[in-house]
Structure 1
Amino acid sequence: MKKILFLLAGVFACHAAQAQYFCTAEGTKLHYVNYDEVGQSTSDEEITVKNVTKEGNTVKASYYDKIVTVKTKNNTSYTLYNWTYDGTVSTCTEDLMYGPYVDSDSDPARYDTAARLEWTEKLKFKGDNSFSIKDGAEAGENLPDRKFQWIRNMLKNDVTISGASYMGTEQVNTRAGKFNCVKISYLKRTKIILKTTTLRVNEWYAEGVGLVKSESFKMDGEQAGKTLLVKVEKN
């Protein structure tokens, strides 16, 4: 019983009283499973919460993400999400330079602003790949469009996020539990050389946790993929 209570306390610690849409319990691990269009598992993700700081109304945390792809060689990759909450808005930016930096056999512990800027130049990153979630947003409110480009696997990627809006709140049930979430929907267009892919993406975010569920659909309505939070683990 004590063990169960301890685990529950860890989960509730991740659901902080503050309204930020990310976890501020240092060392917490968020486990996700990614699925393809037919519902087969394609990869597992383990996000570790680090670098939690608070100054006044501003709270920050970093999500270090380890991604293991199923049944492939050299199947481990990394990315980093930096979250900030200013008292009314939670903002997340994926650091697309972190993964290539780690892949280059550089020491992850030495990754800093100078290293990020160096890799930003190498990968020719331009634009804005951040997104924000406003406290108390009403269904139908729009979010700003954004676009960015960078070199991935020696190919130029142009990504445009458009038509984003809040879709209200919903309760989402996963293996990790029940979560009251805000739902966001947007169009994601990715252009690589002459090939352009457009997906409708729906995402559900819970206060004190972050992403709980994501679904993407092709423009004909066929599902393209899904991500689910399956476990919240207190260190």
Structure 2
Amino acid sequence: MKKIFYVLAISFFPLMGKAQFCNLNKNATLVYVNSNRETNETRIDTVTVSNVNRKGDYTWVEQTLCNPAAQKQKSFYEGYNTVKFVYEPNGVTNRILIDEKWGVETMKNLKKELDSYQNSATKSNKDFDEQLANAEHQKGAIAIPLKADAAKGEKIPDGRYSLKMDYMKVSFDLSNGKYEGFEKVTVPAGTFDCLKVSYKIKANVLYLPQTQYITQWYAQGIGLVKEEIANKKKELTQTRLLVAADK
């Protein structure tokens, strides 16, 4: 996995004068209100900055979803309730959508669901873990580079991730990504100057395809402030708004 993200992080400049699009304060909290138009449900999520790890010139940040009720409703690309960022020395904040750890956790959860459905073990845990350890089954990673100097209309690099084990296969493609410029956004937590990004995610989990169009607004020093998700028909299905945040 290190090789993947060293490719993402190729520039080496001082941190002075750079601002990150995430919260670097360990134990800081962010509170969101999530609305799902398809199920007509609204949920309050509390996210904690659970880990801040500085490796050389890079800062790796993990945010963990705290409330148990929300943990049962996993987003298909959110790394099973963990949001990850890598802050580079050139001032770019990479929002990691999918990586090696995500793939391993996905396969383990799929195996549990299949075993439960069949009321038996599809494969011994030892054999399963040995296959997961084989890096040849995994390819790629997907990240959104958040940068303060992004030009409006500039393209976000495409990304692809795939993992295959026997008949179990997952793949994700990010495309049509672009920087939409900077906007003032008002949410329950206040008004923020945000970098707006949009992209398309096409997922295929156990040969069940799904497409989402995602628009997000990120504020420096905080992270995600607003998110809108639309379905394949580009109909708005979900929204997420920041309610409160530790700065």
Q: TM-score, normalised by structure 1?
A: 0.70
Aligned match of 2:225: 212
For 1:149, the aligned partner's letter is: S
Q: How does 1:23-102 map to 2 (within 5 A)?
A: 23-37=23-37, 40-54=40-54, 58-66=58-66, 68-69=68-69, 75=72, 78-86=80-88, 87-94=90-97, 95-96=101-102
After superposition, give the CA deviation of every residue in 1:87-146 in whole Å (9 maximum; x if it has no partner): 321112244268669989xxxxxxxxxxxx989538954321222112210101111111
Q: Provide the C-alpha distance between the structure 2 equivalents of 1:164 and 1:76, rounded to a whole number of angstroms.
A: 26
For 1:93, the aligned partner's letter is: I
Q: Provide the C-alpha distance between the structure 2 equivalents of 1:232 and 1:168, rounded to a whole number of angstroms.
A: 23
Q: How does 1:9-20 map to 2 (within 5 A)?
A: 18-20=18-20
Unmatched runs of 5 consecutive residues or more in structure 1: 1-16, 105-116
Q: TM-score, normalised by structure 2?
A: 0.67
Aligned match of 1:196: 209
Q: Which one has a larger percent strand, Structure 1 or Structure 2?
A: 1
Q: Provide the C-alpha distance between the structure 2 equivalents of 1:159 and 1:203, rounded to a whole number of angstroms.
A: 18
Q: Provide the C-alpha distance between the structure 2 equivalents of 1:148 and 1:47, rounded to a whole number of angstroms.
A: 25
Q: Provide the C-alpha distance between the structure 2 equivalents of 1:150 and 1:67, rounded to a whole number of angstroms.
A: 29
For 2:81, the aligned partner's letter is: T
Q: Any conservation in 2 of the 1:43–1:68 contact (CA below 8 Å)?
A: no
Secondary structure at 1:140 match in 2: coil
Q: Any conservation in 1 of the 2:169–2:207 contact (CA below 8 Å)?
A: no
Is 2:171 aligned against 1:158? yes
Aligned match of 2:11: none
After superposition, give the CA deviation of every residue in 1:145-204 in whole Å (9 maximum; x if it has no partner): 1111347xx953221110100001111111112111111011111123443222211111
| Percent identity of equivalent pairs | 26
Tell me which stretches of 4 or more aligned residues in structure 1 moved more than 6 Å: 100-104
> CA distance change for structure 1 residues 193 and 25 in 2, over 3 Å: closer, same or farther?
closer
> CA distance change for structure 1 residues 91 and 97 in 2, over 3 Å: closer, same or farther?
same
Q: CA deviation at 1:208?
A: 0.7
Q: Any conservation in 2 of the 1:186–1:200 contact (CA below 8 Å)?
A: yes
> CA distance change for structure 1 residues 221 and 131 in 2, over 3 Å: closer, same or farther?
closer
Number of aligned positions between the proteins = 202
Q: How does 1:164-183 map to 2 (within 5 A)?
A: 164-183=177-196
Q: Provide the C-alpha distance between the structure 1 equivalents of 2:32 and 2:104, rounded to a whole number of angstroms.
A: 20
Aligned match of 1:22: 22
Q: Any conservation in 2 of the 1:80–1:98 contact (CA below 8 Å)?
A: no
Secondary structure at 1:128 match in 2: strand
Q: Any conservation in 2 of the 1:30–1:48 contact (CA below 8 Å)?
A: yes
Instruction: Find the partner of 1:186 among 156, 175, 199.
Output: 199
Instruction: Find the partner of 2:159 among 142, 146, 151.
Output: 146
Q: Provide the C-alpha distance between the structure 2 equivalents of 1:233 and 1:102, rounded to a whole number of angstroms.
A: 34
Secondary structure at 2:150 match in 1: coil
Q: CA deviation at 1:29?
A: 0.8
Aligned match of 1:121: 133
